Amino acid sequence: MAARSEPYVDLHLHTVASDGTLTPAQLVDYASSRGYRAVAVTDHDSWESIGGAQALGSRVGLEVIPGIELSTNLDEREIHVLGYFIDHNDRVFQAKVAHFRQARVERAARIVEKLSAMGVRIELPRVLQIAAGGAVGRPHLARALQELGYVGSVDEAFARYLGAGCPAYVGKDFLTPEESFALVHEAGGLAFFAHPGIENCDDLIDGFVAAGLDGLEVWHAKHTPAQARHYQEIAAQRGLLVSGGSDYHGDGLGGGAPRNQVRVPYQVVERMKERLSEATLRKWNQTVIE
């Protein structure tokens, strides 16, 4: 039996369109080499790698689900929201996402200013160059710091300067989780709370469900098996869908912390499809046939 018939999926992957190092072709190779049946491209505030990955995926029988990972803020907390089966070609959706991405550039500029006030001098143009046209984020600032020898690693940059509570931290306040659910729904997709175990925000889940949340990311490389079971139970109790993925950014990014093996059954994709609107499902089936 061909490796690709193994019924596992990875529904959380980043590419060069945001802060990952994988091109769409490398992402498809990554998934094919592991025998996955489906993946979701979930770049931060970006959709640009989806089309390319879908085209390449269709050649090797890999289902590429259009996704996105939206950065949202609630008070001081940063919540990531995954959208699956979004219509990434929708112009209104693209315009809104582009607007939020611009806000990320402004945030990077403010962090550069804060660092400069501390005598740590990195250049914004270099940070944007490292981001290579993708959605600029703290990992790019970390790499600029590392490049100039201010820190020895990306993890150290977060621990000393960029992490929440650190001197150069700047919060983001341009999209609330509730607004992001609406944005995902308007684009025909399903909204999931990404890696809830990292944020330790279980108290927010019921409010999110009332605001339209569709599911929880149960399996994640930074969730322990106990956390995965915990979120699976919460999802079952609330009638929520479940998802999971590696949150792989390519080698050398976001490493350091222990990463658990993520085994996500294809069945979760089938459950998602049962919840999609008729319109989204019709579009999706056309994409697969093309």
Residues lying near Zn ion in the complex (CB under 5 A) are found at 69, 80, 194, 247
Nearest distance in Å: CB 266, Zn ion:
21
Nearer Cβ to Zn ion, position 122 or 136?
136
Nearer Cβ to Zn ion, position 152 or 252?
252
E strands, the chain, in order: 8-13, 38-41, 63-74, 77-84, 190-193, 215-220, 241-245, 264-265
Please list, residue by residue across 90-120, b when 16 or more beta carbons sit within 10 angstroms of its beta carbon and e when fewer do.
eeebbebbeebbeebeebbeebbebbeeeeb
Nearest distance in Å: CB 198, Zn ion:
8
Tokens of residue 149, six digits: 């020898």
Nearer Cβ to Zn ion, position 14 or 115?
14
Q: Residue 100 and residue 206: Cα distance in Å, rounded?
A: 26
DSSP string, 179-238: HHHHHHHHTT-EEEE--HHHHT-GGGHHHHHHTT--EEEEEETTS-HHHHHHHHHHHHHH
Nearer Cβ to Zn ion, position 96 or 138?
138
Nearer Cβ to Zn ion, position 20 or 150?
20
Residue at 267: amino acid letter: Q
Nearest distance in Å: CB 195, Zn ion:
6
Tokens of residue 201, six digits: 């925000």
Nearest distance in Å: CB 80, Zn ion:
4
Nearest distance in Å: CB 120, Zn ion:
25
Nearer Cβ to Zn ion, position 96 or 195?
195
Nearest distance in Å: CB 278, Zn ion:
29
What residue is closest to Zn ion based on CB?
Answer: 80
- Measure Cα distances from 246 to 9, 13, 230 in Å: 10, 7, 18
